[in-house]
Amino acid sequence: MKSLFSSRRKPPVQIPTDTQDLFAHLPTELIILVLEQLNTSSDIISALHVCRNWRDILLSPEIWPSIADRLVPGLTTHIRERNCSVNLHAQAKVFQAALNLHHLYQSGLFSYARHHVVRVNDGSFTLSKQVSVESGGVHSLAEVPGLDPLSEELHVTHVRLYSHGRIAWWPEAWHLPYFAVVDDLRARVRRMFLFPGQAELRGEDRRRGWKTALGEKLFVLGQEDAGVCVWHLERDEMKFAELPGGFDRCVVDGERLLFIGRRNAEVWLWEWAGEQGVREIDVARDEPRYVPGPVRMGGQIVQGYPRPAPKLGLRFQDTDVKVDFILHPNDWRVIFVVTWDEADLVVSEFYEGCMRARMVCPREHLAYRGMVRSRTDNAVHYLRTDRCDGRGGYVLMTAWVGEEPMCDAGHRGSIVSVCFNVHTSEFSALVHHASYQRTPAAHLWDGLLAVRVAGEDQNGLKPVVALLKPCDADEGNEATSQPGNPMPVRLIKQPSNTITPVEGNMTFVSEDGEIRPRAQSLHGMAHAFEAGGDARQAGTDAMKAEWLSGDDKTLVYVAGRDYTVWMFGEDGIPKEKKEVRLWKERFKNAIASTGRGTRA
């Protein structure tokens, strides 16, 4: 701080009485005192646009870390660990970009929205031919044996995975599980992959045991008897990984893969740039509850019906212990093993194959009470780690815990999300209030929980994605929405020059169904987005996968072969020439209005 004062100290001056800018003559110490009173991301973004002097002070190494920790806890640690090789000025720019994204997401200001129906013949994507045919790239649909592009409506099409702006889907998931499509939603580029050597296999041998995973850089497709193909989505290259056996779970982070063996819960690590091939980590040596044995993959099972969704977890078949894994986003030497045996929730940290720390969730912690209460939901809940913010936070499980109040606010109907931060090694829990019969397909990001509900307007029933605030956020301003109440919804319209997405109104509708019941009430709704598709069909088809996913730049709602995507920030603006100018104008207007002091 002393260096900041000395570098920016101004000599005493006589302030003119007729000046219109008194702040220009204030000493740096007083300006800092003024800026310390700003306590929202909107206020900080406004201050960054006041003048160059204020921006330089706010982005100085002495100031921005405290602002980051105050507004977005954990952001400073994440930025410094992810960008340790860059200079302090570059880290400040990363902070500014993260603050903009945080503000846009929390305010519901998407820069782009679009509804898709997946088709192999889709002119909105450009087919990439950078991956050679020998490496599994598909340059023409005629190269895929058994695929009839003219009979797409008869295909069993599954949209299965989302990661970092990409959607992975299977045009014919039942008969051709080894043929996959990965669409880049930002670059509008499509890559098609065909696992090599399938022409020699027949019948069930070609359909059995396929597993897949998608990350920021890698796409994985493998079978127990055929091995694993790993495609690098930035280099457009393919490598083949031979595993000692079949696997039931693959975790991806950067250029690293972690496989969980099906027969004995072996843990195998593989790196794209590594020369050692597959390495095994002996987790059972240090973690007493990790007893080697067969594992089974599963998701929520409600009243005997499995819920089709990509967020599946693992359990030990013999002990019924739930288990999952986290690859540290910044340190390639660190992995975390998460276990839940209905008595203790434990996260074990392994450094270069040896256990370094063991964190047990205290039984008086809200996270533990949420895990225990989830067992009363008449559903089987698995651990399934997924990022829940851009600061090292992972959600371990999200579960409906019944109508009885879960927090001091006393609201009935609670959804509890149990989280763990890899930087701080701390557990946390968020409670969102919505009255459901059972656990919904939900997605947690930056404290907001996205759930699918239904709205009705003059055109009929529409799917709506509602973002709920945690129960301790602006408690006095939260309201409960009941069926029949009007619900303000941000609609999907053509690009326009409006500062915010187009607003509309729908009537909140409660849908009843055996497989996918809808909310009877919503509490503390921050925003609601109109999704494309048919809400009634998505709610009644038991075999249609329905799920939500996303990150700091994207929110995705999937229902069968339909999906709707909302993008936040300038990176989300598509590269289509006809739309890019209007969408950029919308994004710049939203940020500019905040900079002028107007809360967007």
What value does the mean pLDDT take over residues 61-87?
A: 79
Neighbours of 291 (CB within 10 A): 12
pLDDT at 336: 96
Which of the four pLDDT bands, split at 50, 70 and 90, describes residue 578?
A: very low
Smallest Cα–Cα separation from 108: which of 546, 503, 487? 503
108 has pLDDT over 60: yes
> Could you tell me what percent of the chain has a pLDDT over 70?
79
pLDDT at 165: 92
Q: Which pTM was predicted?
A: 0.86
Smallest Cα–Cα separation from 467: which of 391, 399, 566, 386? 566
Per the document, the length of the chain is: 600
Residue 373, CA atoms < 13 Å, CB-side half-sphere: 28
pLDDT at 216: 93
Contact criterion met (CB below 8 Å) for 454 and 463? yes
Residue 211, CA atoms < 13 Å, CB-side half-sphere: 25
- CA–CA gap between residue 424 and residue 428 (Å, rounded): 11
Which of the four pLDDT bands, split at 50, 70 and 90, describes residue 467?
A: very high
The phi and psi torsions of 107 (rounded to 5 degrees) equal -90, -5
Amino acid identity of residue 586, one-letter, is: R
Residue where the block lists tokens 């967020």: 311
Give the tokens for residue 477. Answer: 């301003």
Q: Which of 2-6, 93-97, 183-187 has the highest mean pLDDT?
A: 183-187
pLDDT at 205: 54
Each residue's pLDDT tens digit, 225-253:
778 999 999 999 999 988 888 888 999 99
Contact criterion met (CB below 8 Å) for 448 and 501? no
341 has pLDDT over 60: yes
Which of the four pLDDT bands, split at 50, 70 and 90, describes residue 211?
A: confident
351 has pLDDT over 90: yes
pLDDT at 588: 58
Contact criterion met (CB below 8 Å) for 222 and 211? yes
pLDDT at 131: 93
Helix (H, G, I), strand (E, B) or coil at 497: coil
- Which of these ranges, 146-160, 182-196, 504-518, has the smallest mean pLDDT? 504-518
Residue where the block lists tokens 């031979």: 242
pLDDT at 598: 38
Each residue's pLDDT tens digit, 364-408:
999 999 888 887 656 667 888 999 998 889 999 988 888 887 877
Element (H, E) at 588: helix 577-595
Contact criterion met (CB below 8 Å) for 266 and 279? no
206 has pLDDT over 70: no
Smallest Cα–Cα separation from 417: which of 425, 409, 407? 407
Neighbours of 533 (CB within 10 A): 21
Helix (H, G, I), strand (E, B) or coil at 81: helix
The phi and psi torsions of 152 (rounded to 5 degrees) equal -60, -35
Amino acid identity of residue 512, one-letter, is: D
pLDDT at 396: 94
Which of the four pLDDT bands, split at 50, 70 and 90, describes residue 579?
A: very low
Amino acid identity of residue 129, one-letter, is: K
What value does the mean pLDDT take over residues 198-215?
A: 68
pLDDT at 3: 55
CA angle in degrees (0–180, nearest 5) for 305-309-312: 90
Q: What is the mean pLDDT of the chain?
A: 81
pLDDT at 600: 31
- CA–CA gap between residue 378 and residue 20 (Å, rounded): 66
- CA–CA gap between residue 571 and residue 100 (Å, rounded): 12
Instruction: Order the strands of the 256-261 sheet from edge to edge.
Output: 247-253, 256-261, 267-271, 279-281
- Dihedral sign for Cα atoms in the order 587, 590, 591, 596: positive
Smallest Cα–Cα separation from 189: which of 262, 103, 130, 260? 130
Helix spans in 59-165 (H) = 64-71, 75-82, 88-107
pLDDT at 437: 63
CA angle in degrees (0–180, nearest 5) for 515-443-296: 65
- CA–CA gap between residue 26 and residue 30 (Å, rounded): 6
Give the tokens for residue 310. Answer: 């990509």
- CA–CA gap between residue 68 and residue 89 (Å, rounded): 15
- CA–CA gap between residue 313 and residue 158 (Å, rounded): 19
Higher pLDDT, 338 or 97: 338
Contact criterion met (CB below 8 Å) for 233 and 166? yes
What value does the mean pLDDT take over residues 468-496?
A: 75
Smallest Cα–Cα separation from 260: which of 275, 274, 280? 280
Smallest Cα–Cα separation from 312: which of 199, 441, 201? 441
